[in-house]
């Protein structure tokens, strides 16, 4: 079974929130490692914000079911970005049988987009009759 989630956000929207709420916004949404990597750069923050929403959609919860920092975008030098999940996100993923989440990030001048694909060993979704 495959689960997917996608999200797109305007970079200037993230920049506006960052300028207005700064540390409060950063600390609510992003882990310390994400904050260090992004270094307050709006494009990087926006792509990670989109990634978190894409994973929330993949997990079927939307923004109300999983805390923001339970989904973390990591990146090792010379490697593509990856998703690490924590807390409630792990519990939800295990319930769905998800064993792996692949991530793709991109941005243009105005928009950031993220696509997440979850691979599950068992089928969680049951079609209706």
The gap from C-alpha 20 to its chain's centroid, in whole angstroms, comes to 22
Which residue's structure tokens are 């999940």? 85
Domain membership flag for residue 111: yes
Domain membership flag for residue 96: yes
pLDDT value, residue 56: 97
Domain membership flag for residue 110: yes
| φ and ψ of 11, to 5 deg | -65, -40
Q: What is the mean pLDDT of residues 116-121?
A: 94
Rounded Cα distance between 78 and 58, Å, is: 26
Q: Which CATH number goes with the domain that contains 107?
A: 3.90.470.20
Query: Which residues span the domain enclosing 23?
Result: 2-120
Domain membership flag for residue 65: yes
Q: What is the mean pLDDT of residues 8-33?
A: 98
- Per-residue confidence band for 21, with pLDDT thresholds at 50, 70 and 90: very high
Domain membership flag for residue 11: yes
Average pLDDT, the chain: 94
Rounded Cα distance between 13 and 63, Å, is: 17
Number of folded domains in the chain?
1
Name the residue among 20, 71, 72, 64 with its Cα closest to residue 42: 20
Q: What is the mean pLDDT of residues 94-103?
A: 95
Residue 124 has pLDDT above 60, yes or no: no
Query: 44-84 pLDDT, tens per residue?
Result: 999 999 999 999 999 998 878 899 999 999 998 899 999 99
């Amino acid at each position: 079974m495959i689960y997917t989630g996608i999200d797109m956000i305007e970079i200037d929207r993230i920049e506006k929130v960052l300028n207005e709420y700064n540390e409060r916004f950063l600390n609510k949404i992003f882990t310390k490692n994400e904050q260090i990597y992004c270094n307050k750069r709006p494009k990087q923050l926006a792509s990670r914000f989109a990634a978190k929403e894409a994973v929330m959609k993949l997990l079927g919860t939307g923004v109300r079911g999983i805390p923001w920092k339970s989904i973390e975008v990591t990146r090792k030098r010379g490697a593509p970005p990856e998703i690490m999940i924590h807390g409630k996100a792990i519990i939800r993923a295990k319930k769905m049988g998800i064993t792996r989440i692949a991530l793709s990030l991109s941005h243009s001048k105005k928009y950031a987009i993220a696509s997440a694909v979850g691979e599950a060993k068992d089928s969680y979704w049951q079609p209706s009759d």
